[in-house]
Amino acid sequence: MIAISSRPPADALYLDKVHDVAFTPDITYGVGGIGYVAGQGPARYRDLKLDVYRPVGDGKAPRPALILAFGGAFHRGAKGVEVFEGENPSTAMAEYCREFARRGYVCFSIDYRLMQEAPDPGVTPFLLPGQPQNTDRIDFVRNILGLPPCTPQMMADTLEAATDDMTKAINFVRNRSQAYGVDVTRIACGGFSAGAATALNAAFAERAPVAAVVALSGRIAGPTMDYHLTDGAIAPAALVFHGERDLPVIRDGIGEMRAHFDRVGVANQFVQVAGADHFYQRNAMVLRVDGSACDVETMIAEFLHDRLHLADAVKAAA
């Protein structure tokens, strides 16, 4: 593991929750093709939406930004509050957005296209031709929804489309940074499960311009890292959580990810949530690198404070 600094001062700006939050729903950040058929293109396009959570306070700008994508095996979930019947609850990305806006971040919870929509994979592929994909979790959820198993092409098209959507959302925020009061050098992306995989692929394969990635039970595949994430590549720092009893596809990829990040020089921190399966709350207990305890949300706040150099931002604004 490439070292991340230990806990910054508890009273540092962007750690304490001191702000009220202004909420703006359903902003269109782009359009995406659906009803896609290879050789014919999409049948139609739909708007891609995001919700904005902004701190209400002293009006100081620019601020760091956090762009988050929900989970749900590329089939379920929403940018608002979601609950998956029959499974343990996890904290919705909307709740993370609200809590980080309280700290002073401008936060965005995004919508993206799902497999049932037959999304257009776009023209910027990051997957290698014929790259194998694990569909165990996808087919588990498809069975719950009464759908047949997915094909490799369906999986590839959906991964490409979701990654394009996250990249489009990041560029939307950058292009409107002045309107939202965002510092374009201090943008982080992330998500849970499918949303975490989407964020990792956008940051490391599509090379979306972010400074940090937060992945809650998500992974990036070995072939994708081997091709896109090489020695000397300029890449964001990564904070990766996984449950002690997480899905096999997540657990089996953690060691590979950590080793690859270390080998090519990506600053990283991997955190196991003791006793947890694939789902865990933001208040679940974890250990810092120095062995002291905190919760998942605090770990994220401290990681971003460090990797976005927020102490420097505070000094520059003083």
User: Residue 7: pLDDT band by 50, 70, 90 thresholds?
Assistant: very low
**Is residue 6 pLDDT above 60, yes or no?**
no
Q: What is the pLDDT of residues 92-118, one digit of tens each?
A: 999 999 999 999 999 999 999 999 999
212: tokens are 């940090």
Q: What is d(CA 308, CA 213) in angstroms, rounded to the nearest whole number?
A: 11
**Is residue 9 pLDDT above 50, yes or no?**
no
pTM reported for the whole predicted model? 0.94
Backbone angles phi, psi at 316, to 5 degrees: -65, -30
The pLDDT assigned to 86 comes to 62
User: Residue 81: pLDDT band by 50, 70, 90 thresholds?
Assistant: confident
DSSP at 41: B
DSSP at 278: S
The pLDDT assigned to 82 comes to 72
Determine how β-strand 44-56 pairs with β-strand 20-34: antiparallel
**What residues are paired with 311 via a beta bridge?**
none
The pLDDT assigned to 12 comes to 64
Q: What is d(CA 142, CA 169) in angstroms, rounded to the nearest whole number?
A: 27
Q: What is d(CA 268, CA 204) in angstroms, rounded to the nearest whole number?
A: 13
**Is residue 13 pLDDT above 90, yes or no?**
no
